[in-house]
A and B are shown apart, each in its own frame.
Chain A
Amino acid sequence: MDILFNFLQTTGFSQMSLGNVVMIAIGISFMVLAITKDYEPLLLVPIGFGIVLGNIPGIASMPLGVYDQGSVFYYIYFGVKQGIFPPLIFLGIGAMTDFSYMLSSPKLILLGAAAQIGIFITLIGALYLGFTPAEAASIGIIGGADGPTAIFLSSKLAPHLLGSIAIAAYSYMALVPVIQPPIMKLLTTKKERLIRMRPPRHVSKAEKIIFPLVGLIISAGIAPGALSLVGMLFLGNILKESLVTERLANTARNALIDIVTILLGVSVGASTKAQVFLTSGSLKIFGLGALSFAIATAGGVLFAKLMNLFLKDKINPLIGSAGVSAVPDSARVSQMMGLKEDPENHLLMHAMAPNVAGVIGSAIAAGVLWAVMVK
Chain B
Amino acid sequence: MTARSLQSGAPARERAATPSIWSRIWQNDAPGYLFLLPWLIGFIGLTVGPMVTSLYLSFTDFDLLTSPDWVGADNYIRMFTNDAKFWTSMRVTMFFVIFSVPLKLAFALAVAMLLNRGIRGLPLYRALFYLPSLLGASVAIAILWRQIFAGDGLVNKLLLLVGIEGPSWISNPQYSLWTLIVLSIWQFGSPMIIFLAGLRQIPTDMYEAASLDGASKWRQFIKITLPLLTPVVFFNAIIQTIEAFKSFTPAFIISGGTGNPINSTLFYTLYLYQEAFAFFRMGYASALAWVLLAVVGVFTAFSFFTSKYWVHYDE
On whether the two chains bind one another, the answer is: no
Q: Which B residues are within 8 Å of any A CB, using their own CB?
A: none
Chain A interface residues (CB < 8 Å from chain B):
none
